[in-house]
Amino acid sequence: MKKIAALVIAFILMVSLLSACVHDSADDSKPDDTANVTAPGPVDYLSADYVYTSEVIPFQLLPDGKTYIDNIVLAGNVVYFTARNIDENADDKTSALFAMDIDGSNFKELPNYKPGSFPADITNAIVYISSMHVDNEGNLWVAETRSIDGSDMPDGFGTNLIRKLDNTGDETAAFDVSDLPADEDYIYVYALNTDDEENIYAASFSTIYVLNNQGSLLFTLDFPDFFKSFVSLSDGRVAYVEQQSGGELSLYLKVVDVESKAWGETIGLPSNVWRSSGIFPGNNDYLYLFNDNNFLNGVSIETGNQVQVFNWAGNNLSSDDITGITLLPDRRIAAARLPLSAGGNISLTELVLLTPVPALELPDRIILKLATFWFGSDLRHVVEQFNRKSTTHRIDVIDYSTFNSDEDWRLGLLRLNTEMITGNRPDILDIRFMPIQNYASKGLLVDLYPFLDADPELSRDDLLENLLIASEIDGSLYRLIPAFELITMFGNPGILGDYPGWTVEEFLDVILDNPQAERPIGNNGTKMALLSFLILNNMDEYIDIQSGTAFFDNDDFIELLEVANTFPAEIDYNISKFHAVPDGRQIMDAGRIGLLDFQINRVLFGGELILKGFPTKERDGNVLSPYTNLAITISCEEPDVAWEFIRMYLQEDIQRDIIPNWLFPMSKYIFEEVITKKIPIGGGVGASDGIGELHLKAEEMNLTDDEIDYLRSIILNSTRIVNDDRTILDMVQEGASDFFNGRNTAADAARIIQNRVTIYLSEQAG
């Protein structure tokens, strides 16, 4: 029993991250006099007549240390949720059940809920609510996992219950599901739903159980992907979210057909829908709802077409964070959000209430448009913070990735490039994945040095000097890089050489000298992957934007093509580097190196690690890869305000807490904090790539002073930055493909690539 309880505890910590739900119930919603703007037919949440204000609704102080909130279900105007104490030393780990209105009022613990229905004389019971659902009649359904600390369950008490409760928590029905047929040692209901006939749908690991309203098993369905959820369709059917391992669609819905006791219709979802927690039940207007990169979308009951319902990005929210919603007929929207914060770690769920305000009633604010291809949590946080503080200006985000299609991922960039040239430019650019050299050479960007030098609180001395220098173009600073990664090639110095850096020839010699290494660079070791990785992270070796010159038609690049051609066209990605390195099949790796990455790879590669960088003539191929990097365009009429926004990224709280913890910050002082930080893991840590794993002992976890000095030196002496111009990479790949497929010689491929890139550079300069 103790073993089962321990497994359940571990499992629930993972499942709870995906446990927020949604339930649309117009009957339960309470109109708000300040936003009573109901209209017949579907509510237009995108209407330009209204602007949404957002308010984070705090959860009230919870009793007895039960501060970990999960299983959030939004049902009309009411929010139900469970809370528990996750301290492993806590005496009481049992879930409690709470409710409040979406505006935070009427907070209460459900008075009649008795966890587990244990007799009064059992005081050491532990009850977890692993899943919760609210049906169309307002009944609560909870799945409970029950155990007794230190002893077996009494006779007649199963370990798993599904209970039906009223809105006070009083039990109206209960079904023991402990003895359902299962392939596993125990049942754990991580997803729960009901339909209009009160048939019960329960998912446990790879099995879906369908029970009637008396708790009798009707049938089971096998389901290999157990870490997903149910979705109620507005026509009364219940579907399950499945992750597709290959093909065009990443996620789709599989409808349960109760009559045939089998899987029914399969409903495909767009390829930019990639989070199962972002798919929600339908309502009177939509069969179901789902998030893509930036929008809440619905499938119209009337037309069957997909329509945009609400713009998360336009309201400074990341769709990735949204795990539950309720749409109210008075235009308000409540959303459960699981944001990234505190150095990129998942924080506790919060409730956000979005309230429409007539646009004419708001004071005019000057809008600054910010263009991005990835509206991540850090950028969203800074935009939201700026918009809440400023009473005169507002940042509106345009995510150009939404203009891409499944057939062409470059449509967004084509649109942005056209706007940059024609003058319809955004004010601010998050210039990741954009051709900054091209924009700078055309005079489309503003030099940020005058703003930095005039800043009353910041100076160049506060920032990493090498990062500023690496960011310069002809002595001007056209972008600020608040955070970055170190990208490099690495391995054991006994194999790669103990001298700093290497040339292309030296790199190729290492590969040729180790014929036993059948996959010398691991998963980067296909023909095209190797070539692409070396070019993308070493673009300055092959082009000079300022002079419009390319350097592909030479012996070094021809030899690189020839060696890449000795690599396989395809590779088995099911081979772990944690297996391939120890047995000699892999002798190096390439990618990001942070503190934990250094520690893991030091152990993996035999106790020593050298960061060689990518092969260059000067042996200086360690590369800084910008995360967020921000620029101001010449069309911005409020550059001082744009700078006020950009400089927020350099605030200590942002540099320390909001920037994800695998990155290095631009601030000298916070950088020093990060690189000398000790990792408090008493028993060590396990590293895994999903296939193999490596365990680091506690004494291997923290870097020595010499290793810290070495990593610091590598970073502070790196002056190369990843070039994100994918157009040039496409040209290289197309030319190399003809050689790899035998249609050209390596020399011919190099000449063709040289000509195409030269023409492209000339066109960009013009």
At residue 511, φ and ψ (nearest 5 deg) are -65, -45
Tell me what pLDDT residue 29 has.
36
Q: In angstroms, what CA-CA distances link 122 with 7, 147, 149, 160, 275? A: 22, 11, 10, 17, 41
How many angstroms separate the most distant Cα atoms in the chain? Answer: 85
Q: Please report, to the nearest 10 degrees, the dihedral formed by the alpha carbons of residues 248, 253, 257, 263 taken in order.
A: 40
Q: Which two tokens stand for residue 632?
A: 């101001």
**Residue 326 has which token pair?**
């309720």
Tell me the pLDDT tens digit for each residue of 465-484. 999 999 999 999 999 999 99
Q: What are the CA-CA distances from residue 717 to residues 492, 661, 666, 679, 713 (Å)?
A: 21, 21, 14, 25, 6
Secondary structure tally for the chain: helices H, strands E: 18, 43
Amino acid occupying residue 264:
G
Backbone angles phi, psi at 309, to 5 degrees: -105, -45
Does residue 20 surpass a pLDDT of 60? no
How far apart CA 560 and CA 508 sit, in angstroms, is 8
Q: Which amino acid is at 386?
A: F
Q: How far apart, in whole angstroms, are the C-alpha atoms of residue 72 and residue 335?
A: 10
Q: What is the pLDDT of residues 430-469, one digit of tens each?
A: 998 898 988 998 899 999 999 999 999 999 999 999 999 9
Region 693-712 average pLDDT:
77
pTM: 0.73
CA atoms within 13 A on the CB side of 23: 30
In the structure encoding, which two tokens stand for residue 168, read together?
Answer: 């006070």
Q: How many CA atoms lie within 13 A of 157 on its CB side?
A: 17
d(CA 655, CA 343): 9
Q: Where are the beta strands (DSSP E) in 102-183?
A: 108-109, 125-134, 140-148, 160-165, 171-176
The pLDDT-based confidence of 315 (bands split at 50, 70, 90) is confident
515: Cβ–Cβ under 8 A, 6 or more apart, which residues? none
Q: Does the pLDDT of residue 427 top 90, yes or no?
A: yes
State how far the Cα of 300 lies from the Cα of 764, in Å rounded to an integer: 44
3-class secondary-structure state, position 747: helix
Q: Could you give the 3-state DSSP secondary structure of residue 498?
A: coil
Which residues sit opposite 148 in a β-bridge?
125, 151
707 exposed, middle or buried (CB, 10 Å; 0-12, 13-18, 19+)? middle
Strands (E), 234-349: 238-243, 251-257, 262-268, 279-281, 286-291, 295-300, 306-311, 322-327, 333-337, 340-341, 345-346
Q: Specify which residues 311 forms β-bridges with.
A: 295
**Arithmetic mean of pLDDT, 318-344:** 78
Better-scored residue on pLDDT, 658 or 543: 543
Position 587 scores a pLDDT of: 96
Candidate from 11-25, 182-196, 383-397 with smallest mean pLDDT: 11-25
Q: How far apart are CA 668 and CA 685, in angstroms?
A: 29
Model pLDDT for residues 199-223, shown as the tens digit of each residue: 999 998 888 999 999 999 999 998 7
pLDDT digits (tens, 9 = 90+) for 629-678: 999 999 999 999 999 999 999 998 888 877 777 789 999 999 998 888 76
Bigger pLDDT: 710 or 76? 710
Between CA 20 and CA 73 the distance in angstroms is 6
**How far is Cα 71 from Cα 471, in angstroms, rounded to an integer?**
45
